[in-house]
Amino acid sequence: MQDASSRSDSLPSRKIVRAWLEEPADRNASHATRLVAIDAAAFAIVFAAGVAVESVAAKIVLGLIQGLVIARLFVLGHDACHQTLLRSRRANRILGRLLFLPSMTPYSMWEVGHNVLHHGYTNLASLDFNWRPFSPEEYAALPRWRRSLERVYRSGWAPGLYYLVEIWWLRLFFPSRRHMPTRRIEFHLDGCLAAAGGLAWAGMAAGMALATGQSMILLLATTVVLPFLAWNTVIGFLVFLHHVHPSVTWYDDKATWTRAVTSVTGTVHCSFGPTLDRFFHHIMDHAAHHVDMGIPLERLPRAQATLQARLPRHALAERFTWRRYFAIARECQLFDRRRARWLSFGDVKRAVDTEGVLP
């Protein structure tokens, strides 16, 4: 396994790497508008189809498809939040809030947690919370129920539960002072907007159930709850692929972290192939996105290719397979930041059982 510290040897600064990817900054607003129109129409059509079909199995399938459409809308909102979708900052902020409604994501909370903390401090353990692994000592200090929950999160089978609880519920949707000490009126208003969007969605489903004589519980479950849970699974899964890998290192020391240029070494380009990568609006070209958040989505494939050509030893790139995904999930469960190495829960248990101490 190649660790990030060895890969950071002779790695140019982020400023230099970013210069390699620079292109004219003009946004393709017409292309972005078409994508927004297509995805918004798809959301409405799939929702309507889920109401119209009689088969419960068909409703479930359409609910899962609706979750994928929410993911597409969210990626566009994510780009608007990075100011890469439209030319106007104000237009991006308005459109981003609208695109985030189906995922019930408060725009300003996402902007702080994602743009500032995650992008600004990728893999710095004290600030970046996206799939941040516990150290063996931190894990051992957790109560039993929380250790059990962490094992579920890291099993490979529950990325949606991780995102739903640890990201959306605890850090985005009206977070407590523990997770967001700063209080801003904008945070509260965006939380209310996200909640209103969810209530409007549920109200529409309930109204359609009454109008068509269907079970309200069934229609709410298949056109609201299931798509929302499916969306959480998709985003939790994608972020896992972006940032959990045997060659990705987490840091305590800020000076060491700075030298590592984690915008390159802390991100993974995990491709599903051209068709699915395009379906997810090129969010899988993730290292290029971290190097320069200002690259519009349609230019990310070329920027990613440039990055991998210029830094073949440093830019992590893999073709997705389920076998590899579950192997990484088994291997990358805890991270010993003193020794810069990943451990599994089994590694820790064996060390305690045989030696009586944490590894």
What tens digit of pLDDT does each residue of 235-251 get? 999 999 999 999 999 99
pLDDT higher than 70, residue 104: yes
Q: Is 198 exposed, middle or buried (0-12, 13-18, 19+ CB in 10 A)?
A: middle
Sorted by sequence, the CB contacts under 8 Å of residue 183 that are 6+ apart come out as 177
Q: State the pLDDT confidence band at 1, using cuts at 50, 70 and 90.
A: very low
- Token pair in block for residue 57: 């199995």
pLDDT higher than 70, residue 42: yes
Percent of the chain with pLDDT over 70: 94
Q: Is 106 exposed, middle or buried (0-12, 13-18, 19+ CB in 10 A)?
A: buried
Query: Cβ of 338: how many Cβ atoms within 10 Å?
Result: 10
Task: Name the CA dihedral angle for 17, 19, 20, 21, rounded to a multiple of 10 degrees.
Answer: 100
| Predicted TM-score (pTM) above 0.95 | no
The DSSP annotation for 166-231 comes to IIIIIIISS--TTT-----HHHHHHHHHHHHHHHHHHHHHHHHHHHHT--HHHHHIIIIIHHHHHH
Sorted by sequence, the CB contacts under 8 Å of residue 190 that are 6+ apart come out as 97, 106, 107, 108, 109
Q: State the pLDDT confidence band at 183, using cuts at 50, 70 and 90.
A: confident
Interatomic CA distance for residues 72 and 66, integer angstroms = 10
Q: What is the pLDDT of residue 7?
A: 52
- Token pair in block for residue 154: 């890291």
Specify whether the CB–CB gap between 11 and 265 falls below 8 A: yes
Specify whether the CB–CB gap between 46 and 297 falls below 8 A: no
Sorted by sequence, the CB contacts under 8 Å of residue 90 that are 6+ apart come out as none
CA angle 304, 83, 197 (to 5 degrees): 115
Mean pLDDT of the chain: 92
Sorted by sequence, the CB contacts under 8 Å of residue 298 that are 6+ apart come out as 28, 31, 282
Instruction: Give the model confidence (pLDDT) of 293-313 as tens digits.
Output: 989 999 999 999 999 998 888
* DSSP 8-state class, residue 342: E
Query: Judging by DSSP bridges, how do beta strands 341-343 and 334-336 pair with one another?
Result: antiparallel
- Token pair in block for residue 99: 């695109």
pLDDT higher than 70, residue 2: no
* DSSP 8-state class, residue 256: H
Interatomic CA distance for residues 103 and 78, integer angstroms = 11
- Could you tell me the CA-to-CA distances from 59 to 53, 101, 102, 220 in Å, in that order? 7, 22, 18, 11
Interatomic CA distance for residues 127 and 170, integer angstroms = 15
Instruction: Give the model confidence (pLDDT) of 160-171 as tens digits.
Output: 999 999 999 999
User: What's the whole-number mean pLDDT along residues 11-39?
Assistant: 81
The values of phi and psi at residue 240, to 5°, are: -60, -50
